[in-house]
Amino acid sequence: MTPALDPQFAPLAAALAQEFALEAELGRGGMGVVFRATDLMLDRSVALKVLPPSLGADPEVRARFLREARTAGQLSHPHIVHIHRADERAGFAYFVMGLVEGENLGQRVRDRGPLPPGDAVRHLREVAWALAYAHARGVIHRDVKPENIMIERGSNRALVTDFGIARVETAAHLTTEGHVVGTAHYMSPEQVNGGALDGRSDLYALGVVGYFLLSGKLPFEGMTPGAVLVAHATQAPPPLRSVAPQLPAALAETIDRCLAKHPEQRFATGEDLAEALRRAMEGAVASREPVVSDRHRLLSEDQAALVWRRAAQLQAEAAARLERETRAHAVRTQLGEPVTTSTPAQGPPTSSYRLQDVESAAIEAGISQRYVALALSELPGTDALEAAVDPSEAREQAGRAILGRVQRSLSVSRVIRAPARDVLKAMGRTFQNATFRLTLKDQLGRHPLDGGILVFKLPDMDASGTNFTHFTWLRYGLYARELRATIRPLDLDGGAAEVTVVADLRPGVGYNVWGYGIIAGGISAVSGVIGGAIGAKAMALAGLAIGAPAAITALAAGALAISASRAFYRWELQTATQELEELLQAIEGTLRTRSVFEEDPPALPPPAAASGPDITLLST
């Protein structure tokens, strides 16, 4: 449900009703309230920022707000949120800008912690380019901070917002409660002192942003806003490596230079800063420093080809399962049978590729990012990738003959209506509780909310061998050993995320092919012997010549055994799929419990070893 708008903005909503439909408040700060709105003329979503009534009552402040917004509206750059319009209605000053679906860098660090150096450098360079473009046109941002840097979902590019709007601030506003807390930590010494500003002031602020992204800390913490301002003006900040010693030295030195007290000691332009960041990361990659993001790792041409083929295979298998489920759903609907409600898923040398480029190329070719991530997660074992995309021909033929088809993975997806970070927390609680008993084995790639993968080990039955797990058929019927889970944030009102869980069935393919083959062969042989003896006896009594009754009986029994094997294999797959669907449904149960009781579900003890029938005596 869309939340009601603040009544104080009702006059503005009414005045704009013919042009914009205000839908929901996205956030507010000292310098404005931002609404999600629809541009009715162009039928597009936009963000509309309104000057708060407390500030808009001053005609001079309102005029300056509009003047600076119009100045910023002249900027057009891939990493700047474009301002479409600035105007006044019903006594309110407002401007309309592009709506960015995603989150700001402040939210990202608060939710996930410090960014990997590769990701942080990418965003810092994008912002540096945007600042350089603005500075060349005489526009100084004056309020560069993580909350004003949006990360667009899908493209993962940084977009700077609120260009020039900070100029509305006056010295009297610097200590206003609720405003200085968000900006004092990023102010350059000359801005604190009220001196003349140029682009190097913005680069100081961007250096503080980099400090925060790479360490999760600010140069001056644990102080009042006033003390922070004094510290920026008079004290040297702690070197970045003193709070994040694992960072590459060249990268830390680049950020430290941005925080020099005197503007002439900093980088002269945003382009200079972006180039210094590039050299620092290339040096770290060349020296193979372990802290560098895995996305900058180089893959050979053969490895890249394997990743693309494996990702395409995973997507094709998921699509085939979706098609089968859709057909089955249609048949059940026609027959009037109940149906389920789960939601199915759907620079370097030419002989090598950066991992992030391999990922991008696959996505451009139409392969979903989740399958690319899953394929990349198998990279440490290239042999496993080769086995997946170039399976043994003998095993493939035997598998098709005995099982009908060979399925190498099993996946289930579900859309959960809750913010992605809440879904992640609920998933952790649910997967590892006493019911499912999954164990977090590894985290691959980036943070789970940024496309990373969580690897969980499937539980074994207890030592007695009597208490099976929730995943009995997945673990002991299909021989899966682990699950890989991904989360994809969705742009739905109130927040939503699609959780996908994939079980790798390749370790059990050989067991099932040869196991069912041996069973079918054994049944054929026994049936042939028995049938042959019975047939020979009957023919002898009838005085007939003995032909080939044993062979005929064996063939019939073998065909029946193979048919039964295929049916049972399909049943195993269906049952294992249901086990995974129940796992994802339980996430929603955890979220409901927490929303009602404001606490997690009680931790139930693991089932006790069975020692006999469970008898309950009722006293009278």
- Could you give the strand order of the β-sheet that contains 102-104, starting from the edge strand earlier in sequence? 102-104, 149-152, 158-160
pLDDT at 529 over 60: no
The pLDDT value given to residue 486: 87
The pLDDT value given to residue 156: 85
Q: Which of 306-320, 335-349, 513-527 has the highest mean pLDDT?
A: 306-320
pLDDT category of residue 620 using cuts at 50, 70 and 90: very low
Higher per-residue confidence, 425 vs 358: 425
DSSP character string of 347-402: ---TTEEEHHHHHHHHHHTT--HHHHHHHHHTTT-HHHHHHHHS--HHHHHHHHHH
- Could you give the strand order of the β-sheet that contains 496-504, starting from the edge strand earlier in sequence? 409-416, 496-504, 482-490, 453-457, 439-444
pLDDT category of residue 616 using cuts at 50, 70 and 90: very low
Backbone angles phi, psi at 47, to 5 degrees: -110, 135
Distance between first and last Cα of the chain: 52
Decide: 406 and 400 in contact? Cβ < 8 Å: yes
pTM value? 0.63
CA separation for the pair 17, 39 (Å, rounded): 10
pLDDT category of residue 224 using cuts at 50, 70 and 90: confident
Mean pLDDT computed over 541-568: 60
Nearest Cα to Cα of residue 217 among 366, 113, 103: 113
Higher per-residue confidence, 544 vs 568: 568
Q: Which two tokens stand for residue 512?
A: 């099932």
CA separation for the pair 228, 363 (Å, rounded): 45
pLDDT in tens, 239-252: 999 999 999 999 99
**To the nearest whole number, what is the mean pLDDT of the chain?**
76
The dihedral built from the CA positions of residue 461, 467, 473 and 474, taken in this order, carries a sign that is: negative
Amino acid at site 277: L
The pLDDT value given to residue 460: 85
Higher per-residue confidence, 599 vs 439: 439
Q: Which of 43-57, 408-422, 546-560, 581-595 has the lowest mean pLDDT?
A: 546-560
pLDDT category of residue 329 using cuts at 50, 70 and 90: low
pLDDT at 148 over 60: yes
3-state SS of 491-530? CCCCCEEEEEEEEECHHHHHHHHHHHHHHHHHHHHHHHHH
The pLDDT value given to residue 153: 80
pLDDT category of residue 24 using cuts at 50, 70 and 90: confident
The pLDDT value given to residue 604: 47
CA separation for the pair 9, 391 (Å, rounded): 64
> Residue 107 CB: number of other CB atoms within 10 A?
15
The pLDDT value given to residue 537: 47
| The one catalytic residue among 6, 111, 143, 202 | 143
Decide: 214 and 117 in contact? Cβ < 8 Å: yes
The pLDDT value given to residue 326: 57
The pLDDT value given to residue 25: 87
Question: Which residues are part of a known binding site?
Answer: 49
Q: Which of 124-133, 272-281, 558-567 has the lowest mean pLDDT?
A: 558-567
pLDDT in tens, 174-204: 434 333 334 789 999 999 988 889 999 999 9
The pLDDT value given to residue 36: 92
Q: Which two tokens stand for residue 168?
A: 């509305």
Question: Which residues are part of a known binding site for ATP?
Answer: 49
The pLDDT value given to residue 180: 36
pLDDT category of residue 613 using cuts at 50, 70 and 90: very low
Mean pLDDT computed over 151-160: 88
Residue 339's contacts (CB-CB under 8 Å, 6 or more residues apart) are: 329, 332, 333
3-state secondary structure of 30: coil
CA separation for the pair 323, 487 (Å, rounded): 22
pLDDT at 325 over 60: no
pLDDT in tens, 105-136: 998 998 888 998 989 999 999 999 999 999 99
Amino acid at site 297: R
Residue 307's contacts (CB-CB under 8 Å, 6 or more residues apart) are: 299, 358, 362, 372, 375, 376, 379, 385
Which of the 8 DSSP states describes residue 292?
S
Rama region for 451: left / alpha / beta (φ>0; ψ in -120 to 50; rest): left
Mean pLDDT computed over 427-453: 84
Backbone angles phi, psi at 99, to 5 degrees: -90, 125
Distances (CA, A) of 432 to 28, 413, 459, 519, 567: 37, 19, 10, 36, 33
pLDDT category of residue 480 using cuts at 50, 70 and 90: confident
pLDDT at 227 over 60: yes
Mode of pairing for the β-strands spanning 158-160 and 20-29: unpaired
Q: Which two tokens stand for residue 17?
A: 């009703």
Higher per-residue confidence, 232 vs 552: 232
Q: Which of 56-70, 83-97, 353-367, 438-452 has the lowest mean pLDDT?
A: 353-367
DSSP character string of 446-501: S-GGGT-EEEEEPPPPPTTS-S--TTHIIIIIS---EEEEEEEEE--TT-EEEEEE
Residue 602's Cβ-count burial label (10 Å; 0-12, 13-18, 19+) is exposed
Q: Is 143 in the active site?
A: yes
Decide: 441 and 455 in contact? Cβ < 8 Å: yes
Pure H helices in 49-138: 53-56, 59-72, 105-112, 117-136
Amino acid at site 368: S
Amino acid at site 510: G
The pLDDT value given to residue 403: 66
7 half-sphere exposure, CB direction, 13 A CA radius: 0
Decide: 21 and 46 in contact? Cβ < 8 Å: no
pLDDT at 56 over 90: no
The pLDDT value given to residue 317: 61
Residue 113's Cβ-count burial label (10 Å; 0-12, 13-18, 19+) is exposed
CA separation for the pair 73, 83 (Å, rounded): 5
pLDDT at 426 over 70: yes
